[in-house]
Structure 1
């Protein structure tokens, strides 16, 4: 990936507000007391923008926001210096509620419905992307699709952006991912379940995962990263295949961990780093995020420290 113009644009079609409620001893069907509450702007592409902000390249966020609850997004953009090119649509962006019971070791998710995207909105977004492509080299299409949007939306946007010479990253799942990979983005990051679903077969062990990632790379996708959760991630490109295993860290929240890996790997890749350097940096960046709630990037000092503890294993024989 060699950028020809400065700037990264993240595209959020289904932005969300992540609301976390700390509720010791949470019991369904009973009155529960919440001890603390946090609200952060979310959605995968919004998270990626937040993780990348403050680096060497200007960051722009676009996509859709509900006009009724934009404040938390606008506050994030202003705080992190992210250029806001999001389209406002009638209604509210979805809210994802997590009820965290640290005493019981449980997390309960309550996901509210989100926006209904009106006719013509995708065309307006496409026009915005065309304009942004004149000054930005890289576009990150990340997250689920809102209700009423065609499953091939990411594929359509990928093909359009690639035709304009842009580098395209896709991180989604299900049918949108299946359509998108046919348009040959430069970088995809499925987890094992998503990769299995994409290829239509079970991936019973690590060897099968590596073969599947190589199969995806062979279709013309330059970089494939398969997340294995706490076990790390598999990285495949033209240089070969690697397994990167993160060091053990204290975990405050796993929300956005995959998005932080996308941000870390992408920033290293755009800087011209090798596959091993991208794997080490992206894994350390993701591990450093785990100690914070919300899309808060780790300091570069913390990332550099964690990089020394990332284990890299060659998978050339898999």
Structure 2
């Protein structure tokens, strides 16, 4: 691969993670701690990649009034900052995390991205492309952008020889998968795949079949994350399931984004599917031990990767159990 990995975050957020023993709706709740982190899916991916030593450029749109947390993160981790600044404030996402790990999300509205800003973003993105590069398009879309923006960008990037990893849901995902040029890799969770297919996928065999259809349609690498149930990894050559034993964690926020970062790190290193699955699973599990978009030390990640249980996908699907939903 040539050049840094590019991450695009069109709807970034400041994650306000509030820790409390148990959430009691309609009552006064006392928090034990609160943390603020620059976030949004692409930002989280960039942060984890930087922890792993992968050169990364972060692109998107920030509100100029509260861009400081993002600037601090990018500076501290050596992430290239190519975000546009616009008047206003980047949205805040409130995460209420209970002692057992249950998380309640309250996502506030973000900036409106107009046509001129979108055109400037696309021009800036095009200026950073390198042959055989990797780009991550991740997260929800802000007001002002059409559902087909990811589909359009996948076509443009693929035409420039860039492999695109897409982490989106609902209409933007459906539009991208209906386009003539498909993403190189997608990472839905079970709920997102169910929404796309319009089917219940609680049976493992159904989940595997739905993921296999994505590969048959031309997605080179399909990953379906299942939270505590691990993840499915499918390519045209192989299909496996990877998992680590469940563990109590301070926050599950960003675990799916960490998995995307692990997938990208595996692609950068040109890893075979099993090694990539181990690394992506280790990234997600390592992130669970931290609040904010951060990985543990590399040696700890490698130990987690080595401990991951790998099972052929058809064997996993035949085992008793359901396709646990997750990040």
Structure 2: segments with no counterpart, 5+ residues? 318-327
Q: Is the 8 A contact 2:46 2:79 kept in 1?
A: yes
2:60 counterpart SS class: strand
Superposition pairs of residues 18-167 of structure 1, within 5 angstroms: 18-24=15-21, 26-102=23-99, 107-134=103-130, 137-167=133-163
In structure 1, the partner of 2:325 is: none
Shift of 1:210: 1.0
Summarize deviations over 1:271-317 as a string: whole Å, max 9, x none: 11111111111111211110100001122111121123211111246
Distance in 1 separating the partners of 2:277 and 2:183: 19
How many residue pairs end up in the alignment? 314
In structure 1, the partner of 2:307 is: 309
Q: Is the 8 A contact 1:141 1:169 kept in 2?
A: yes
Q: Is the 8 A contact 2:15 2:37 kept in 1?
A: yes
Cα–Cα, structure 1 residues 106 and 130, in superposed 2: closer, same or farther, change >3 Å?
closer
2:85 counterpart SS class: strand
1:294 counterpart SS class: coil
Structure 2 residue aligned with 1:196, among 187, 194, 197? 194
In structure 2, the partner of 1:210 is: 208
State the TM-score, normalizing by the size of structure 1.
0.93
1:53 counterpart SS class: helix
Distance in 1 separating the partners of 2:122 and 2:151: 12
Distance in 1 separating the partners of 2:22 and 2:309: 37
State the TM-score, normalizing by the size of structure 2.
0.91
Structure 2 residue aligned with 1:225, among 223, 226, 237? 223
In structure 1, the partner of 2:297 is: 299
Structure 2 residue aligned with 1:273, among 267, 271, 274? 271
